[in-house]
A and B are shown apart, each in its own frame.
Chain A
Amino acid sequence: MLKLIRLEWKKNNIMKYMWKALAMVIILLLLLLTIAGELEAAETRFDYGNSMLKSGVELFTNMSFIILTCVMLASFIVGTYKNKTINLMFSYPINRKKIVLSQMLSVWIFNFIALTLSKVLIYCVLVAVKKYTFISAEGIRLGDSMFYVEVLVDSAVMISISFTALMVGLMMKSSKATIIAGMIIVCLTQGNIGVYTLAGNIPFYITLLMLSAVSVFLSLYKLETRDVL
């Protein structure tokens, strides 16, 4: 399986996505440094009870990586059905389920690692620059191991939720539909209408995770007996 994942990365030019992710992190960092003061001021003014700076980091990184995951799903999986390279893949002496699973895992692993590292990097930079700026960065507890567990779980959940878009993309056989579905997921999981938001709503996240699981299951279901159209 590891070999198949490595080959997926190789043929889909993973370096391209690495640079994209890095550029995205730099832009997010600059954006967050610009608005960090504002976020902390709002936290004091409205007494939200949680770190607005931390929420800002979570919001922007999650948003960006949900979209990147969907772009990669569109390219790594949905695109192969469109450009017929899946026919080539299914002509190899390899279990079809393993092939499709390796495609999914290659996207999941890359984005999970990239999102986790991005968050940690941004938090580290924000803490490092706090003495030179007006940022207090109170909610960012880099010395607490639970903080990292939280980051890991949150990253895993966000990337897994993005796989709901795969079902839409495969059903409509469209890369664009996959990315649009990703945007809808971003709106639902990260957006708000006035004070109402689904961000952090555990039952809603569980529902989306279940939908992702269904999406993965349907992608693999009867793969051997299905005609490759």
Chain B
Amino acid sequence: MSYILQTSHMTKTIDGKDLVKDVNIHLRKGEIYGFLGPNGAGKTTVMKMITNLWKPTEGMIELFGERLMPASYEVLKRMGSIIEFPTFYEHLNGKDNLLLHCEYMGYYHPKSVETALEMLELSEAADKPVKKYSLGMKQRLGIARVIMCKPELLVLDEPTNGLDPVGMKKLRDLFKMLCTEYGISIMISSHILSEVESIADTIGIIDHGNMIKEISMKEITEMNTAYIELNVPDTKRAAYVLADKLNLENFKITDMYHIRIYDGRITANDISKALTENGVEIGGIGKKAESLEDYFLKITRMEG
């Protein structure tokens, strides 16, 4: 399997402290990779190393099939990135900032600036100095800048920061479109899980600098397609019935009154019947699907 971006045991240590340790990332061409983790987990550190701003203490990074070295400048032509927040020459207008970017990237294509501004709905503000832009407008201008030169890989660190829900939705659609129509691979970090869930093909979860899990969204969906949630006043007794009478193993007591049953072979009716026969009172029973958020919380808690 060929990857457009691959890291192997990537570690960054500063002043004896491991900011990230043994991070392995695999991003296939044309895929959207959702990079999740709580604040301070090491997402930005990883992205800084991928974009060559920081150098790994150990391990290696492979971009477009080539090992990333300190003097690997050519690969930067093929990628676009926003790390932390987009920076601009504030006294220049939006259009001039983009034109300057084209000059530095060595990208000359007529109308590319206008098209990018149009895509991000910034045409009207194109001639305004960037210092007069709102946070959301700056964020959109940053996106316009990175997509303008048609990169093969986008590395975006929380790109929806400062955007309203409508703006977020538009950006999600844009990323999806860039991915499907132009074959651009995107690595995107976000703390809004539902946002990544709707566009990502693969998820990487990082916590306390350690890569906890890398899994495709398809696998998550298959693993946790659905579960039966049971609301009972006596979870201990209910758990006994599930384990002893129904021979179920794949269930979890989530709190004092709730049990989740992940075993797909059993139906809500069978459970209800068994519990009633064994004198367990049922407050409620229903089939539910687990969101990425549930999955994320589950595995970060497990690691914690």
Q: Which residues of B line the A interface, CB within 8 A?
A: 48, 51-55, 70-71, 73-77, 81, 83-84, 87-89, 91-92, 100, 103-106
Contact = CB atoms under 8 A, between A and B. Distances in A.
A145 interface: no
Question: What bracket does the count of chain A residues touching chain B fall in?
Answer: 20 to 34
Given A225-B55, A228-B53, A91 B81 contact: yes
Contacts of B54: 227-228
A94 B55 contact: no
A95 B71 contact: yes
Contact of A88 (B55, B71, B75, B87): B87
A7 B70 contact: no
Contact of B70 (A85, A91, A224): A224
A11 interface: yes
Contact of B100 (A11, A87, A95): A11
A218 B71 CA distance: 18
Nearest to B77: A93
Contacts of B84: 84
B81 A10 contact: no
Contacts of A227: 48, 53-55
B70 to A, nearest CB: 4
A93 B105 contact: yes
A205 interface: no
A84 B77 contact: no
Contacts of A134: none
Nearest to A10: B100
A93 B73 contact: yes
A92 to B, nearest CB: 4
Contacts of A11: 89, 92, 100
A90 B84 CA distance: 15
A13 interface: yes
Given A13-B91, A88-B87, 11 more contacts: A10-B100, A12-B89, A84-B84, A87-B87, A92-B76, A93-B73, A94-B104, A224-B70, A225-B70, A228-B48, A228-B53
